[in-house]
Amino acid sequence: MFSNIKFLFIFLFISITAFAQQPDPEVENEVDEPGHKIGNIIIGPYFPIAFGDNFVNQGMDLNLGAKMSLRVNTYKTFFVGPYISFFNGSVTDKTLLGNYESTTNIVVGGVAGYDFHINNFDVTLGAGVGYSVYANRGLGDSFNDTATAVWLSPEVSYRFNPYIGFFVAPEIRHDFMDIDVPEELEDSFKGVNYLNISFGLRINLGSGYRNQ
């Protein structure tokens, strides 16, 4: 399943990039029209960094993942849209976490925020909430832990042309875990803090981006 998710990211990346680079004859003939800004897509690598007194920081090594979001403009420069991210981790402390080997975390949710522009730069402040699943795997045993994830993510991107840009975004995220553990372990398992870093491609949708 997870290889299919990675394939989906690659397929969307190639398809959207090819689409964004195709010239629109009507757009070329109407350079002076103000156009409409539909929104943007971001896609790229996702580096998870857990911190604090929690089971992920104390008992796992985390690996590179990816994230993607479609953000649709609503009122002026405000946006909303869907969001997905994932990463893998390997268990380093089985005495704390139990007898399993690795996990894959997937977050599916939504984002909302504000987008503004300074010359060739796009600056975004967004927040989100989503359903977080830790798909844990071990020898002969697989199970899921779930959580509610909330995050705040400022973002800066540089536009190479009106439609294609490169973004960098830190993300502060907290997962409110839904795990039943003995009382003495609750501090480690009730929540996980992350400082995640992502970068990659930003694709602006709509002819309105030509005039900013």
Where do the structural domains in the chain lie, given as residue ranges? 2-211
The Cα 106–Cα 11 span in angstroms is: 19
Phi-psi region of 81 (alpha: psi -120 to 50; beta: other; left: phi over 0): left
More confident residue, 162 or 107: 107
Integer Cα distance of 75 and 176 in angstroms:
31
Tokens of 97: 């976490």
CATH code of the domain made up of 2-211: 2.40.160.20
What pLDDT shows up at residue 25? 47
Alpha-carbon distance of 54 to 48, in angstroms, equals: 14
Q: How would residue 48 be classed by pLDDT, with cut points 50, 70 and 90?
A: very high
Query: Which of 6-15, 89-98, 116-125, 145-154 comes out lowest in average pLDDT?
Result: 6-15
User: What is the pLDDT, as a whole number, of residue 14?
Assistant: 54
Task: Say what the pLDDT of residue 34 is.
Answer: 60
Least confident of 4-8, 99-103, 147-151, 165-169: 4-8
Residue that the structure tokens 């394939």 belong to: 7
- Using DSSP bridges, classify how beta strands 164-178 and 65-73 pair: parallel, antiparallel or unpaired: unpaired
CA distance 37 to 59: 45
**Rounded distance between C-alpha atoms, residue 25 and residue 191, angstroms:** 52
Helix, strand counts (H, E) of the chain? 5, 10
